[in-house]
Amino acid sequence: MRASRESVLAALRSPVPAASLSPGTGRYRHHYAAHGAAFWGDDLAAAVDRFFTARQALDGSRVLDLGAGTGRHCFEAARRGAATVDAVELDAVAAQFILEGSLRLEHAGIVPEGVIRLHAMNAVEYLHGTCAGYDLIICYGMLHVLAGDDAASVLSDVERALKPGGTLILQFLTNKFAAPREQPELDDVWISPDYAARILDCGAWDIWWRDDTDIRHSHISSGDHQHGSQRFLADRR
């Protein structure tokens, strides 16, 4: 039976207790539900920070943030003058933080209305469908949660979607270490360090910064742990 209009309005007005949320499709839903934006924290990720240190302004640029999480990188791109920031995030809990953050930045006069555009969908599907040419694509912490065919598809479509001279910020985890007990969503990370070393090994890219340093950190939801990690800053030829 179709739900009544009244039941829809009642559901829209009711709070959603974090403990009752369905698992969802995104890998980090229970972390977002329990901790919100605090799960990743406010600091920019290492490769994103390195990029913005080297290239201060994004005035007039088109930016794509794949697997945008709760929005910390797309907010920074918008603050630095990007004309449009397409934030692609599948998880509805994380996407809510992007919407709320965008509204707050607009209200404060920091970012013009409409600069940050949320696409609540799978990044693979978004890339298949877009004809946009981007000056900057951020793909941070997403590739390792995809199946092998999807990861290859993303890299191919990123190459197509990025303008010549545009930059890709890429980071992913490898299977060098076992997943932390508090992050079972990473049990099936399949990217080996050897595979990772070849991931941008083609004529399309000028890699101007690379870092293979392992990550050692603590999330708000987990203790100290390690991940194998690869980070790249690469310009499209």
Q: What is the DSSP string of 143-202?
A: GGGS-HHHHHHHHHHHHHHEEEEEEEEEEEEETTSPPPTT-GGGTT----HHHHHTTT-S
> Which residue is it, tokens 């003058």?
81
Using CA atoms, how far residue 120 sits from 1, 34, 96, in Å, is 27, 20, 10
What are 13's two structure tokens?
A: 């007005």
Residue ranges of the chain whose pLDDT lies below 70? 1, 16-24, 218-219, 221-222
Predicted pLDDT at 14: 77
62: phi then psi, degrees, rounded to nearest 5: -105, 125
Hey, what long-range contacts does 26-33 have (CB within 8 A, 24 or more apart)?
26/89, 26/90, 26/91, 26/93, 26/94, 27/145, 27/185, 27/186, 28/69, 28/91, 28/94, 28/185, 29/91, 29/93, 29/94, 31/219, 31/221, 32/70, 32/91, 32/93, 32/94, 32/97, 33/93
CB-neighbour burial class of residue 167 (10 A; exposed 0-12, middle 13-18, buried 19+): buried
Predicted pLDDT at 114: 95
Predicted pLDDT at 74: 95
How far, in Å, CA of 12 to CA of 18, rounded?
15
Predicted pLDDT at 24: 66
How far, in Å, CA of 84 to CA of 86, rounded?
6
Predicted pLDDT at 88: 98
* Dihedral over alpha carbons 15, 111, 232, 200 (to 10 degrees): 90
Predicted pLDDT at 7: 82
How far, in Å, CA of 103 to CA of 97, rounded?
10
| Residues in Cβ contact with 220 at an 8 Å cutoff, skipping those fewer than 6 apart | 35, 38, 39, 41
